[in-house]
Amino acid sequence: MDIGELFLSALEALSLNKMRTFLAALGIVIGIGAVIALISLGQSGQMSVQSSIQSLGSNLLTVIPGSQRSGGVNTGFGGATSLTYEDAKAIASSPQITTVAAVSPELQRRAQVTTGANNTNTQIIGVTPAYETVHNISLQEGNFISTDNVDSMSKVAVIGPTTASDLFGDGTDPVGQTVRINKIAFRIIGETVSKGGTGFGNQDDLIMVPLTSAQKLLFGVDYISSIAVQAKDANDMTTAQNQIGYFLLARHHLSDPTQADFSIFSQADILGAASQVTGTFTSLLSGIAAISLLVGGIGIMNIMLVTVIERTREIGLRKALGAQANLIVAQFLIESIILTFGGGVLGMILGTTLSYIIAKVISLPFTISLSSIITAFGVSAAIGIVFGWYPARKAANLSPIEALRYE
């Protein structure tokens, strides 16, 4: 009896009891499908967070005010008012700071914005022209805020596409229209190109106005909420961080770095922290996937055990008719290989389709990793084969009399 013959008789045996075959395969399909879908979604989430952090700008350092100890009172992270527009200007013009390409002082607040018909609550950012380069802003129409606008405290605004459609509806050209921010009328002079980010750091739902207008006209403050600094080169990040740090310490008349009333962190820091979060998330999903793999595996194991036990009499008969034990084991082994591989392929298709659909529905980028496919496939195949082989070997080694008597 050659391998082709064995293969055919295994296929025949599988097709004789379609329900049993279907149930066995289903366990494998679900096991593999779930693992692939879960791992793929975890990785998609991670990618999405990384790309939205990267879309904030490249080689970026962020200076935020914070943690000034005055008389033993910690004013809290980011809550201080110790950074000013002048600090930003000084960083940009200082001869000691050699590694900086652009400096963008920013003041961020949320405010109510109205047009004649609509209103929305969105993010208002006071900016200087440097914002455009530092944050990779491109305009689909109109102009960005100019130095003149900043110097003369102009009531002009650049609007993000999401805010534009919230306020004016789709298809209406926002440039030239007027919006009221905190009841003050601003003329829209430009609209940005969508960056496509969602949730965290959405770059499409905002209105940019000249920094001075934001400070004096809208919010009545003289500090800024952050300074974004673009280093000339990715390798200059650490140098830039040090140069800016010591420069600001001196400017704020502080001698000890532990007393600094500001913090500087790089995009890499944010990325690192975010990766850690999403990494945990992926591990969690992988854990769930591993459990579903285990459950799927136990399902495969049970159905294989039951299948073989149910067929003990058949095994006895085959032995009585002259089948050698190793032929019987080979037949059951081939049956379980066909089952696990067939189920595995279906599971791969199911898992991929499922993660594709979910990624589309919750607008994540779709990725699938080879390693997750290999792991899912390998584990279920191993379980299926071992638990197809083991009871078959046991039954094949029974004496034919005992096997035939089995009820």
The phi and psi torsions of 145 (rounded to 5 degrees) equal -70, 130
Residue 112's region, left for phi above 0, alpha for psi from -120 to 50, else beta, is beta
106 closest CA partner among 210, 230, 241: 210
Give the shortest CB-16-to-other proteins separation in angstroms: 4
Give the shortest CB-317-to-other proteins separation in angstroms: 5
Do residues 14 and 337 make contact, with C-beta atoms less than 8 angstroms apart? no
- Give the residue, chosen from 313, 341, 346, 352, that forms a contact with other proteins under the rule CB under 8 A: 313
Name the one range near other proteins by CB under 8 A: 32-40, 143-151, 156-164, 313-321.
313-321
91 closest CA partner among 223, 222, 242: 242
| 152 lies in the site for other proteins, by CB under 8 A | no
Give the shortest CB-9-to-other proteins separation in angstroms: 7
Query: Which tokens belong to 327?
Result: 């032929």
DSSP 64-122: EEB--EETTEE--BT------HHHHHHHHH-TT--SEEEEEEEEEEEEEEE-SS-EEEE
Return d(Cα 369, Cα 371) in angstroms, integer. 5
Name the one range near other proteins by CB under 8 A: 29-37, 88-96, 150-158, 398-406.
398-406
- Give the residue, chosen from 26, 254, 306, 323, that forms a contact with other proteins under the rule CB under 8 A: 323
| 16 lies in the site for other proteins, by CB under 8 A | yes
H/E stretch holding 353 reads helix 325-361
**Residue ranges in 66-125 that form contacts with other proteins under rule CB under 8 A:** none
**Residue ranges in 25-44 that form contacts with other proteins under rule CB under 8 A:** none
Name the one range near other proteins by CB under 8 A: 1-9, 39-47, 135-143, 352-360.
1-9
| 23 lies in the site for other proteins, by CB under 8 A | no
| 314 lies in the site for other proteins, by CB under 8 A | yes
**Looking at this protein, which amino acid is placed at residue 157?**
A
| 319 lies in the site for other proteins, by CB under 8 A | yes
Buried/exposed code over 89-122 (b: 16+ C-beta within 10 A; e: otherwise): eebbebeebebbbbbbbbbeeebebebeeeebeb
Give the shortest CB-24-to-other proteins separation in angstroms: 17
Number of H helices, E strands in the chain: 13, 12
Name the one range near other proteins by CB under 8 A: 134-142, 167-175, 242-250, 316-324.
316-324
Give the shortest CB-17-to-other proteins separation in angstroms: 7
C-alpha distance from residue 216 to each of 152, 153, 180, 188 (Å): 11, 8, 16, 19
CB atoms within 10 A of CB 264: 18
| 148 lies in the site for other proteins, by CB under 8 A | no
**Residue ranges in 324-343 that form contacts with other proteins under rule CB under 8 A:** 324-327
| 318 lies in the site for other proteins, by CB under 8 A | yes
| 3 lies in the site for other proteins, by CB under 8 A | no
| 400 lies in the site for other proteins, by CB under 8 A | yes
Do residues 198 and 363 make contact, with C-beta atoms less than 8 angstroms apart? yes
DSSP 151-192: HTT--EEEE-HHHHHHHH-TT---TT-EEEETTEEEEEEEEE
Say how many residues touch other proteins, by CB under 8 A: 22
Give the shortest CB-43-to-other proteins separation in angstroms: 45
- Give the residue, chosen from 258, 322, 361, 370, that forms a contact with other proteins under the rule CB under 8 A: 322
- Give the residue, chosen from 26, 175, 317, 345, that forms a contact with other proteins under the rule CB under 8 A: 317
- Give the residue, chosen from 58, 235, 280, 399, that forms a contact with other proteins under the rule CB under 8 A: 399
Task: Tell me whether residue 135 or residue 319 sits nearer to other proteins (CB atom).
Answer: 319
Give the shortest CB-300-to-other proteins separation in angstroms: 23
Query: Which tokens belong to 109?
Result: 């607040």
Judged by the rule CB under 8 A, the positions of this chain that interact with other proteins are 1, 5, 9, 16-17, 313-314, 317-327, 399-401, 404
